[in-house]
Homo-oligomer: A and B are copies of this chain.
Amino acid sequence: MGNIFSDRISDVPRSFIREILKVTSDRNIISFAGGLPNRKLFPVEQLKEACISLFDKDIEDALQYSTSEGDVSLRQWIASRYLQKQSISISPDDIIITSGSQQGLDIIGKTMINESDHIVMEEPGYLGAIQAFSLYRPTFHSVQLHDYGLDIDAFEKTLHSHNVKLCYTVPNFQNPSGITYTLENRKQIADILQGKNCMLIEDNPYGDLRFKGEPVDSFYKYIPDNTILLGSFSKTVVPAFRIGWIVAKGQLHEKLLIAKQASDLHTNYFSQKVLAEYLRTNNLDDHIKSIVAIYGAQRDAMVHAIEKYFPPEVQFTRPDGGMFLWATLPEGYSAMELFNLSIKENVAFVPGDPFYINQKNVNTFRLNYSCMDEQTIEKGIKILGSVIKRFVG
């Protein structure tokens, strides 16, 4: 059989992370490679009650086909939370429930990206977004992330030199770096975008998982007409439901809805109703507090272990929330090579390569701390530290 594939799919390589997760699924391995929330913290009993309560109510409706927009009570809950937590006023009518944030990225790509269109990505950037957008064959422009957010000079230059349509950001506890954009950085970005024919995606799956400091304003506060918001219940409730959302207004909302409908008609309605019932009968903030207490302690354990066991020439971020931190080896050392050494000692992480558009053998890597207790983190970082010392020494 000859080539029956589209050009768009021929460009996309097999997922690097999938390959790594296969290697690291062995139970003897201490894996900092994952990106999973901690399953011990799932609100199992409360979800069971919500399920049973749904079966005792309007269950036939919850099992039938539904609208592409998604459950109205869930959209109302999301809108009122934006107002309460971030002081931004969103209409439930501007929200579309998606099959995870990942689908939000896909339908944005479908709706907005023509081949060769210019889009700005963070460097390092979320690999799921790189993958989703890649299928629509844009021209990517990477803008470097610093501890305070996007490199403003580079961002401004890129927008000046190219007709940029879309900028993708994860401004809170970014994946993979763990960094959070400062308010000043956000305002500078907003100033640059204001009035331009360019949309900024604020993807915010981790924003609620803050264990330090104060929340920073959403871009939506400053440039509502240029902002698309993406949200998710995967990190705060459970991932398996695949429930996220997208906020967009006017014609963009309408087009995204067509793309959503063509993609899967609508998101699993039964799980939307279970989730809405869970949110109605429980206080999500209480649940989030319990997650944040654990992740915060594990983050501290990882930071302290790195300070103790890594050689001082390895730099790393100190996230105020989320699930990841980001380490940088001295120039010229490949994190991929380091991975090949450390996996022999049964410790895994994700080398930085898949978080860059066009770079190989970078000197950065991602460490996840959400899924392991403090003792295991200390143990794994100690081993990794000794591997690094041999590697860079």
A contact set with B: CB distance below 8 Å = 1-2, 4-9, 12, 14-15, 18, 36-37, 39-40, 42, 44, 47-48, 51-52, 55, 59-66, 68, 98-100, 102-103, 106, 110-114, 117, 128, 131-132, 134-136, 165, 197-199, 225, 234, 238-242, 251-252, 254-255, 258-259, 261-271
Contact = CB atoms under 8 A, between A and B. Distances in A.
Which residue of A39, A63, A134 has the most chain B CB atoms within 10 A of its CB atom?
A: A63
A268 B240 contact: yes
A98 B265 CA distance: 12
A48 B62 CA distance: 12
B264 A102 contact: yes
Chain multiplicity (copies): 2
A239 B267 CA distance: 11
B241 A15 contact: no
Given A55-B51, A225-B1, A112 B6 contact: yes
Contacts of A266: 242
A7 B248 CA distance: 19
Contact of A262 (B55, B131, B165): B131
B135 A6 contact: no
B55 A44 contact: yes
Contact of A111 (B6, B62, B198): B6
A59 B43 CA distance: 11
A114 B3 CA distance: 12
Contact of A197 (B4, B110, B225): B4
A65 B102 contact: no
B102 A265 contact: yes
Nearest to A68: B18
Contact of A103 (B18, B51, B263): B263
B64 A5 contact: no
A62 B4 contact: no
Given A112-B4, A252-B4, A268-B99, A60 B39 contact: yes
A34 to B, nearest CB: 9
B63 A136 contact: no
Contacts of A62: 240
Contacts of A37: 64
A265 B128 contact: yes
B165 A4 contact: yes
14 contacts: A6-B112, A36-B64, A39-B64, A42-B59, A42-B60, A64-B238, A64-B239, A64-B240, A106-B262, A132-B262, A240-B269, A242-B267, A270-B271, A271-B271
